[in-house]
Structures are given as structure tokens and as C-alpha cells.
Amino acid sequence: MPKVLVPLAEGFEELEAVALIDVMRRGGIDVLVRSLKAELDITGANGIVVKAENTIYDVRSDEIDMIVLPGGWGGTDHLAEDENVQRLLKEMDAEGKQIGAICAAPFALNAAGVLKENFTCYPSVEEQIRTEGYQGDRQQVVTDGNVMTSRGPGTAICFALQIIKKLVGEESYAQVREGVLATYCD
Amino acid sequence: MPKVLVPLAEGFEELEAVALIDVMRRGGIDVLVRSLKAELDITGANGIVVKAENTIYDVRSDEIDMIVLPGGWGGTDHLAEDENVQRLLKEMDAEGKQIGAICAAPFALNAAGVLKENFTCYPSVEEQIRTEGYQGDRQQVVTDGNVMTSRGPGTAICFALQIIKKLVGEESYAQVREGVLATYCD
């Protein structure tokens, strides 16, 4: 069972985080929901409190297959500054492992120097990253090498489905896409 | 500011609940996230724990404009059996106030006797309700009188947007639809 780390930071975008965790689990992925700090009750951008299962402190890059960052500007700033997240991103990239981010969070990938040439993000966030290579809404999910990026709350399910396709396979992707009624996803 | 109650019960579908709360708040709705029991940490169908803000015990139908039920079979069974939820549904219906449910949760509306002739729900759940009046996938959201129903995780954002259109107005609906990048919603 592939293992994916989803770090939660204060101010995370709740719908993106929960869509990613929920849909990836439906697809047969073991999702680790981890807090950046000792406090496990994390308040999102819209005041929804999600409980992390543990802290990120003991997560090692050699035991996970992917790290995926939910968006929200508050959460993204924390992800861009957190030493554990930044270290894991660099280690995962050096090992050629999968990395993902949605909405504002590609900013945190850029901070770690792991964002590839082609990417997407929430509209206008590219101004804080770079306009070169920004793919806008041409695709719900942009894949460049080992890095997958997506746009925002409305593409979070589609993003999770593409991660299932990559880590688990076509069959699980098709089953879950049908199961969650997300026929609008590519 | 319209006030909407979202009751959370063990086994609720996390993506549906969080999409509803998140998107409705973006649209200017005051969302009350309430537990059926004294315990406020509620575990969903996919193991995600969301913290309710308070219990449902003190919520009165005369102070809310709508009640919306997230799905998930485990959660739906609790909603169908909970006396506070069932009482509120009957009171809201008697007062002609808005009622909503998604996925399996129209079953809990039916238990209260408030489901109207035309409805939709998660595919095959209609067999536990009735096939007559079931609209399937003809629409993402079915409105009949004061009762709105929707289909599953992939239609939860669209459902929340239709609630915003009903309770707040066209302008907020259009802004939030654009803001969350849910251009696939009707």
C-alpha cells in the first residue's frame, strides 16, 4: 500500500486537505495526516478544525512514497517555513520520489527548490512564484517529472484521482472516480 | 447572515461535510457545526476526525434558516435515529424552512417524513427510500419545495453553491463558484 504524507498547518484549506485524504484513502493509499507542531487540532482557513493523527517530527522520507501539500495562504506560509517539511521535500526530490501541491502550496515547493519547470497553482499565486512555466487552467493537474500540481478546491478531487492513478493504478483510479461521482475529472 | 446547521455524526462522509461547511462559509453563511453527542471529536467514514464546535442539544429551529445533512452510511443511520435531528427536521419542514441532504442522507429526511416527491441521492440509496421521484443524475442538485438533495462527494461543492444561491443570492453564488474553481457546477 503506497504511503502518502499530508502535512496540516494552521490556515490550511480544509476542502483541499480533506478531499485529498478522503479520496486517496478510497483508492487504497495509506495517508499519514501529520501536524507541524505538537498541537494536533489544526484550524483551517475557514475555521474548520481537523485533528492530525500525530506530529510530522518522526516521518522519514525513506518510509513514504509521496508528500502532498494542501493549499490556503496561511497554511502555505507555514509549509514554506517549516524545517521538517522543507527537509522532507528536498529529500524526496533527491530520491526522485513523488511530490504534490495544490492551490497556494506550489509556493512552498518553490521555497524548497523542488518545483519543476511546468506547474499550475491557484490563479495569481504564480505571480509569487514565476509566470514562466505556469500552465493556468489548461489542465486540472500538471505533472512535470516527479512533481504534480493542481489549482484549488474545485480540482482537489481530480488531483487526488491523478495521484491514485500514479501510485496505485488505472483500475483503482477508474473505480474511485466512479465511486465519488467526479465524472468532470479528466 | 443566514444560519445553517450541519450536524456531524460518527461515520459522516468527510469530503461532503467539509465541502459544504467550507463553501457555504465562503458564500457568507454562518455555519453551525454540531455534534449529536457530548463528544465533539467526530470520526468520519474515512477515518478523518473533524471537531464540532458544540453539541446540537441547544439548537432551535427558530434560530436557523436551514439544516443540511452530509452523507456516509454510518453517519446517515445516526441522523435517522437521533431525536434532536429528527425533531429539527420536522419543525423546519412545518415552518417551511430549507432542508438539505446529500448522498445517503436523504434516507434520514425520509425517516422524518420531510422528503418531497422529487429527490436525488447516492446511486442505489434510492432503493432504501423509494424509486418513485428519484431523479438520478439528471441534475447535480434536485430542489422540490423546501427540500434540496444532491448525490455524493463529487457534487458536494455544487450543492453548497446552490444553497448559497438560495440563501444569499446570485452574486455570492457566482463569486464563490469562480473562487473555488468549480466551473463544472451548473
State ipTM.
Answer: 0.98
Q: Which residues of A touch B182 (CB under 8 A)?
A: 153-154
Q: What was the pLDDT predicted at A74?
A: 97
Which one from B103, B121, B158, B185 is the annotated catalytic residue? B103
Q: How far apart are CA B186 and CA B184, in angstroms?
A: 6
Spell out the long-range contacts of A34-39 with Cβ–Cβ below 8 A and sequence spacing 24 or more.
A34/A5, A34/A6, A34/A7, A34/A8, A34/A59, A35/A7, A35/A8, A35/A9, A36/A7, A36/A8, A36/A9, A36/A78, A36/A79, A36/A82, A36/A84, A36/A85
Q: Do A103 and A152 form a contact (C-beta atoms < 8 A)?
A: yes
State the average pLDDT over residues A55-63.
Answer: 98
Pairing of strands B147-150, B49-51: unpaired
Collect all residues of chain B within an 8 Å Cβ-Cβ radius of residue A137. Answer: 181
Mean pLDDT of chain A: 98
Class of residue A38 by CB neighbours under 10 A (exposed 0-12, middle 13-18, buried 19+): exposed
For residue range B61-70, what is the model confidence (pLDDT) as tens digits?
Answer: 999 999 999 9
Please tell me whether residue B95 adopts helix, strand or coil conformation: coil
- Residue B184 in domain: no
Alpha carbon distance, N-terminus to C-terminus of chain A: 24
Q: A48–B18: do the CB atoms touch at under 8 Å?
A: yes
> For residue A108, what pLDDT is reported?
98
The predicted model gives A49-60 an average pLDDT of 98
Model pLDDT, residue A67: 98
Which residue among B41, B51, B154 places its CB closest to the CB of A157?
B154
What is the per-residue pLDDT across B15-46, written as a single tens digit (0 to 9) for each? 999 999 999 999 999 999 999 999 999 999 99
How many distinct structural domains can be found in chain B? Answer: 1
The pLDDT value recorded for residue B128 is 97
In this complex, do A151 and B33 lie within 8 Å of one another by their Cβ atoms?
A: no
Contact status of A25 with chain B (Cβ, < 8 Å):
yes
pLDDT band with cut points at 50, 70 and 90 for residue A5: very high
- Kindly determine whether residue A22 and residue B151, on different chains, have CB atoms separated by under 8 Å: no
Residue A128 lies in a domain: yes
B50-96 pLDDT, tens per residue?
Answer: 999 999 999 999 999 999 999 999 999 999 999 999 999 999 999 99
CA distance A117 to chain B (A): 23
Question: Does the residue A28 lie in any domain?
Answer: yes
pLDDT, residue A24, reads: 99
Name the helix (H) or strand (E) containing B160.
Answer: helix B156-167
Q: Which of A155, A178, A180 to mutate to test the interface with B (most CBs of B within 10 A)?
A: A180
Contact flag B157-A48 (C-beta cutoff 8 Å): no
Q: Return the beta strands (E) in chain A as ranges.
A: 3-8, 30-35, 41-43, 49-51, 54-55, 66-69, 98-102, 141-144, 147-150
Domain hosting residue B163, numbered range: 3-179
Element (H, E) at A79: helix A73-81
Report in angstroms the alpha-carbon separations of A162 from A22, A113, B75.
14, 23, 28
**pLDDT at residue B72 in the model:** 98
Q: Do B22 and A14 touch (CB under 8 A)?
A: yes
Q: In what order do the strands lie in the sheet containing B141-144?
A: B54-55, B30-35, B3-8, B66-69, B98-102, B147-150, B141-144
**Which of B122, B12, B172 shows the shortest CA–CA distance to B78?**
B12
Q: Rounded distance, CA B177 to CA B173, Å?
A: 6
Task: Please check whether residue A121 lies inside any domain of the structure.
Answer: yes
B103 is catalytic: yes
Is residue B97 domain-resident?
yes
Is A186 contained in some domain? no
CB contact under 8 A, A50 and B46: no
Q: What is the pLDDT of residues B114-167, one digit of tens each?
A: 999 999 999 999 999 999 999 999 999 999 999 999 999 999 999 999 999 999
Q: Is residue A184 part of a domain?
A: no
- Residues in chain A with CB shorter than 8 Å from the CB of B14 are 18, 21-22
pLDDT of residue B123: 98
3-state secondary structure of A153: helix
* Residue whose cell numbers read 431525536: B83
Could you give the percent of chain A with pLDDT greater than 90?
Answer: 99
CA distance to A90, A110, B18, B122, per residue, from B65 (Å): 49, 44, 19, 25
Q: Which residue of A has its CA nearest to B151?
A: A181
Instruction: Give the phi and the psi of residue B102 in degrees, each rounded to 5.
Output: -130, 150
Cell of A180: 465519488
- Tell me whether B99 touches chain A (CB under 8 Å): no
| Least Cα separation, residue A27 to chain B (angstroms) | 11
The answer as to whether A55 is a domain residue is yes
CATH number, domain of B98, equals 3.40.50.880
Confirm or reject contact between B38 and chain A (CB < 8 A). no
Distance separating alpha carbons of residues B67 and A106, to the nearest angstrom = 36
Where residue A118 falls among pLDDT bands split at 50, 70, 90?
very high
pTM of the model: 0.98
Q: In angstroms, rounded to a whole number, what is the distance separating the alpha carbons of residues B162 and B164?
A: 5
A26, A46, A181 ranked by CB distance to B26: nearest? A46
Sheet with B49-51: list strands edge to edge: A41-43, A49-51, B49-51, B41-43
- Quote the pLDDT of residue B156: 98
- What's the confidence (pLDDT) of residue B162? 98
Locate A55 and state its grid cell: 506530529
